[in-house]
């Protein structure tokens, strides 16, 4: 196993972690500020991917399709929040889980009726080839674009939350919603805006990961589980925690799936090693979450100090 392979897989883990952050950031803000468990958050990732695939085909431009899909998905998210989810804020978490699970089924069938079970989405031809980032290490140009976009959005979101007045409102709402409302913050409008930002981030992740994975019904459910793992590790309501947790999960998952089969081949048959490696790598992510919960039950960077 060469150092170049480890570097390549670390870049893959960074890319996956940054896209996971785009989902987890919106989810942790919704959970931290609204105190609402939204199982349908992954469905907005799916809606964003389908929107992007449809608009790319309609416009003939990958860039135009993605740029149009992001605000369109944000509008869908804000409509869902203001019409369906707002009545759930006063309910208990069990009611929220049941209602948002039903919303998953509604969104899945709605997407199926509009676009079908899947849509093709390819990376732009200009980014189809590799770029030699180190001697002997070609790396797909499209994955480098994903890393760059993820880093820019992560820095922009952190700056928005940490350095602006709107971010102060968001932090106040995450720490003490009643006090923030007493100080004049328009909580319903803040909730709608935060939900729209979360939906837009989901759309970016769905549009950029669409060419790497299949754009299909139900694509948001599996990645939503990892997003919940991320916010448990990072701390509910914390954007910084979501970023650190996403990078940890992305690197542990990707490197584990690559390195463990090589390690197991030293003392197991190749076929068994290839099957056991990814399975144990998936378990390691949850072991990491269990370790964080044992050592710091509030997460690495909790919003509530």
Res 90: pLDDT: 77
- Give the Cα separation of 174 and 151 in Å (integer): 24
The H or E element containing residue 40 is: none
Res 25: pLDDT: 84
Q: What is the pLDDT along the chain (305 residues), one digit of tens a residue?
A: 578 888 888 898 999 899 899 888 888 877 777 777 888 888 999 999 999 999 999 998 999 999 999 999 999 999 998 888 888 877 888 888 899 999 999 999 999 999 998 899 888 888 888 888 877 788 889 999 999 999 999 888 888 877 888 777 777 766 666 777 777 777 778 888 888 988 999 999 999 998 888 889 988 888 888 888 998 898 877 788 888 999 999 998 888 888 777 777 777 777 776 777 777 877 888 998 999 989 888 888 876 54
Q: CB within 8 A of 61, min separation 6: which ones?
A: none
Query: Where in the chain are the domains?
Result: 3-218
- Enter the pTM of the model: 0.87
Query: C-alpha distances in angstroms, 196 versus 19, 85, 200, 300?
Result: 17, 13, 6, 26
- Give the Cα separation of 51 and 72 in Å (integer): 8
Res 305: pLDDT: 45
Q: Quick one: DSSP state of residue 147?
A: H
* CA geometry: angle 22, 107, 31, nearest 5 deg: 40
122 Ramachandran zone, left/alpha/beta (phi>0; psi -120 to 50): beta
Res 1: pLDDT: 58
């Amino acid at each position: 196993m060469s150092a170049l392979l480890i570097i390549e897989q670390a870049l893959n883990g960074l890319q996956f972690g940054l896209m996971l952050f785009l989902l987890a950031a919106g989810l942790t803000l919704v959970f931290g500020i609204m105190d609402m468990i939204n199982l349908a958050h992954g469905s907005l990732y799916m809606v964003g991917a389908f929107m992007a695939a449809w608009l790319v085909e309609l416009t003939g431009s990958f860039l135009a399709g993605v740029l149009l899909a992001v605000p369109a998905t944000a509008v869908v998210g804000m409509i869902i929040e203001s019409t369906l989810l707002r009545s759930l804020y006063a309910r208990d978490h069990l009611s929220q889980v049941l209602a948002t699970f039903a919303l998953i089924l509604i969104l899945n069938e709605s997407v199926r009726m509009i676009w079908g079970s899947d849509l093709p989405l390819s990376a732009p031809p200009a980014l189809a080839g590799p770029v030699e980032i180190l001697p002997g290490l070609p790396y797909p140009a499209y994955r480098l674009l994903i890393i760059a976009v993820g880093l820019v959005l992560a820095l922009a979101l952190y700056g928005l939350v940490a350095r602006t007045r709107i971010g102060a409102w968001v932090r106040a709402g995450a720490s003490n919603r009643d006090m923030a409302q007493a100080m004049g913050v328009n909580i319903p409008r803040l909730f709608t805006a935060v939900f729209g930002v979360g939906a837009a981030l989901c759309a970016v992740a769905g549009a950029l990961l669409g060419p790497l994975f299949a754009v299909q019904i139900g694509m948001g459910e599996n990645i939503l589980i990892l997003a919940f793992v991320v916010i448990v590790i990072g701390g509910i309501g914390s954007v910084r925690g979501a970023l650190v947790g996403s990078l940890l999960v992305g690197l542990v998952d990707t490197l584990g799936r690559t390195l463990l089969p090589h390690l197991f081949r030293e003392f197991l048959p190749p076929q068994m090693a290839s099957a056991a490696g990814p399975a144990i790598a998936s378990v390691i992510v949850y072991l990491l979450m269990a370790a964080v919960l044992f050592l710091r039950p509030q997460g690495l960077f909790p919003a509530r100090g």
